[in-house]
Amino acid sequence: FGMTEACPAIVFYHGGGWAAGDLDTHDGSCRVLAAESDCLVVSVDYRLAPEHPFPAAVDDCIAAYEWVHHNASELSIIPGVVGVMGDSAGGNLSAVVAQQMRNSDLPAPVAQCLVYPGTDMFFSEESHELFRSGFFLDRASMEWYRAAYLPDEADWANPLATPLKATDLSGLAPAYVITAGFDPLRDEGHLYAQRMVEAGVEVRYRCYDDLVHGFFGMGVLPDGLARIEEICATMGQMMHAST
C-alpha cells in the first residue's frame, strides 16, 4: 500500500441503487477521498440486487467493516480508527453499518459520512414529489431499484433497509450528512440528520442547493471536483480528530 506509518481508514460503500455500481464506477471518487482525507480507503464490492436482494448488501458491508478491523495491523491502520462513508445507496449502507456496529464487540465507526443517503424506503418526503422527474434520479428508477433490492414490501420498514425506522439513534458516530438541492432524497437525508441531532449525535449537515443527485461521482461538472474535494477533506478532518 505504500504506507510508511499507520493512519485512519475509511470503509467506502458505493452508490447505485443496491443494483448497480462497483469498484470501477467509484474509483475516481475514492482516489480523491484518499488524497484529500489522508486516510486509507477500503472500497467495498458488495453483492448487488436483484440477484442478491436484501439483506445481502448489508451482510457484505458489515463483513467488510469487520475485516478491516481484524486486519488493521497488516493494512497499516491505527487500531480502532475506522470510519464509514458512501453515496446514495452507499450512504444508506453506511448509516446501517454505523447503527449495527454501535453495540458490536468491535469498535464502532469513529465517523460516518453520508452523501445524499437513502434513509426512507417509503419515499414519503416532499422532495420525492418536487423532483419526481427531470433531475437525473427519477421516481420510476427509484421504484425499480427498490423492487430489486426489497422484493418483499414488508422489509421496507426494517431499520436495516430504512435507517429512519430505527427507534434509537443515540450513541452513533459523529456524522457528516450531505444532500443536494434538486434531489428526491434531499428531505430524507435532512430528516435523518435532524433525528440524529435530536438523539444527541454530533452532526454536520450541508446541502448543496444547486446540485442534483449523483454529483459526488461527477467531477466533470462545473465546480463538481471542488465540492467532492471539500466533502472528502472534511471527512478527513473528522477521522484525524479521532486519533
Cα Rg, the chain, nearest whole Å: 16
Active site residues: 88, 183, 213
**Coil vs helix vs strand at 24:** coil
Report the alpha-carbon distance of residue 173 to residue 186 in Å, rounded: 21
- Taking a C-beta distance cutoff of 8 angstroms, is the pair 231, 101 a contact? no
- Give me the residue label for grid cell 465546480: 223
Q: Is 39 left (phi over 0), alpha (psi -120 to 50) or beta?
A: beta
Residues 6+ apart with CB under 8 A from 26: 12, 14, 15, 43, 87, 217
Angle at Cα 182 formed by Cα 129 and Cα 13, nearest 5°? 100
Residues 6+ apart with CB under 8 A from 171: 102, 199, 200, 201
Beta-ladder partners of 13: 44, 86
Q: Chain-centre distance of CA 99, in angstroms? A: 12
- Taking a C-beta distance cutoff of 8 angstroms, is the pair 32, 228 a contact? yes
